[in-house]
Amino acid sequence: MHINYQGEIDEIKKLLEKSFDNPSTIITILKDITDASRVNLLFYNKDEKLFYDYQRDTSISVRFLEDGTKSLIGEAYRSKKPYFCSYIPFDTKYNVALDNPFLVKVTSQIIVPIVSDEVVIGFVRFSRKKHTFDHIVLEKILALKKIFKRLFLTPQDQLDQEISEEFFSMKKAEVYNSMNVIQKEFRKLNKKTNNPEIQRMIRKATKQIDAINTYIHTESVDTPLNLDRESTDMRVLIADDVKMNVKILNAMIKQEKVNDIDFAYDGLEALAKIAQAEKNNNSIQILFLDHHMPGKLGLEVAKTIREQEKTHNKSKIFLVSITNDPKAIEADKNLYDYHIPKPFMKSDISSIIKEIQQLHDNVA
């Protein structure tokens, strides 16, 4: 029996058309009508051949969708048809690095590829945490494909401007002012107590405020901080498929007088950059390594590096795990030299860099 939802669909289309110039509002509307926990808009960048997530500053290279790597989004890309995963634990195609890079608790997904002239120009991905999507929701989503197509056909430069304006819309002056007020109150509180435990908690909270300030700063600028100091000769590689994590780590590491930093956004690229650096006699000394990356997981990259150090007598790379996945942290944790959780704390980065620098200087 087919149920006619045309009246409801027409109302939804009107809502979406009114919000066509604001992707964030479109996401909110789509979450409301589907009861999705998360909705992702992934736009195609033809110059870099990747799909980038509008909200989360992460991307998926087309090569991981074309080469047969198993994933729900890859299946939708290759077939150019929507993929409906009713229950993720039973779907053998599910790939956490590509389908759920932020490790959100996901039970069900609907992935709709947006196709123009036989080319996939974007995706709308719906995720639900506790319950599965049903076919009624799927019917509603498919009825909106023409609206989705209009959004993804917006000229690239216009869309980039809209996204930038939306993503960096926070009033940073107000944020910094609030942070300063909090820090002043911490100092007052610290003066009025002799309790060492409270003083310890205040110091810890102050470090958190410093970390928040760093996040706010690096969210809008790519330029490193405090570059006027003499740099070290340490070579660092950051491997994480989430670009915001890379930006923040880059800024924090540069504050430790390290300016020779390279980036990789998947496991295969990380290994390739390590190999190229070795070939150029300019070896990577520290690798900040995420776990859930396309191509190769962080754990696979770590195993490859340690095996090469044994069999090819290569110089040691200090491996710093930057995942919050407890299973990944526990699995073969002897492969890693350090672990730092997300969100990153400047004090953790500083401690690791200084300790490795000292070890490096002692060997030299």
**pLDDT (tens place) for every residue of the chain, 364 residues total:** 344 567 788 888 888 888 877 788 889 999 999 999 999 999 998 888 999 887 767 889 999 998 778 999 999 999 999 999 999 999 999 998 899 988 788 999 999 999 999 999 999 999 999 889 988 899 889 998 888 888 888 665 555 555 544 444 455 566 667 777 887 888 888 888 888 888 888 877 777 776 666 665 554 444 444 444 456 778 999 999 888 888 889 988 988 889 899 999 999 999 999 999 998 888 999 999 998 888 888 999 999 999 999 888 788 999 999 987 777 777 677 889 999 988 788 888 999 999 998 887 765 5
pLDDT value for 216: 58
pLDDT value for 4: 56
- Residue 315 one-letter amino acid: S
203 alpha carbon, distance to own chain's centre? 29
pLDDT value for 119: 93
Both 324 and 206 in one domain: the answer is no
Question: CB pairs under 8 A, 24+ apart, for 60-63?
Answer: 60/98, 60/294, 61/265, 61/266, 61/294
| Helices first, then strands: H and E counts in the chain | 15, 11
Both 85 and 151 in one domain: the answer is yes
Both 179 and 326 in one domain: the answer is no
pLDDT value for 40: 93
pLDDT value for 226: 46
Percent of the chain predicted with pLDDT > 90: 37
Residue 260 burial (CB count, 10 A)? 16
Both 205 and 58 in one domain: the answer is no
pLDDT value for 22: 78
Cα gap 26→101, rounded to integer Å: 22
Both 186 and 151 in one domain: the answer is no
Both 181 and 288 in one domain: the answer is no
CATH number at residue 145: 3.30.450.40
124, part of any domain: yes
Both 180 and 144 in one domain: the answer is no
Both 90 and 137 in one domain: the answer is yes
pLDDT value for 260: 92
- Residue 11 one-letter amino acid: E
CATH number at residue 291: 3.40.50.2300
pLDDT value for 363: 59
Both 187 and 70 in one domain: the answer is no
Q: How many domains does the chain have?
A: 3
228, part of any domain: no
pLDDT value for 169: 46
- Statement: the pTM of the whole predicted model exceeds 0.75: no
Both 160 and 189 in one domain: the answer is no
Per residue in 103-119, pLDDT (tens digit) is 788 999 999 999 999 99
Both 74 and 33 in one domain: the answer is yes
Cα gap 248→354, rounded to integer Å: 18
Cα gap 115→145, rounded to integer Å: 10
By 3-state DSSP, what share of the chain in percent is helix, strand and coil, each rounded to 5?
50, 15, 35
Both 281 and 213 in one domain: the answer is no
121, part of any domain: yes
Residue 196 sits in which domain range?
172-220
pLDDT value for 221: 43
227, part of any domain: no
242, part of any domain: yes
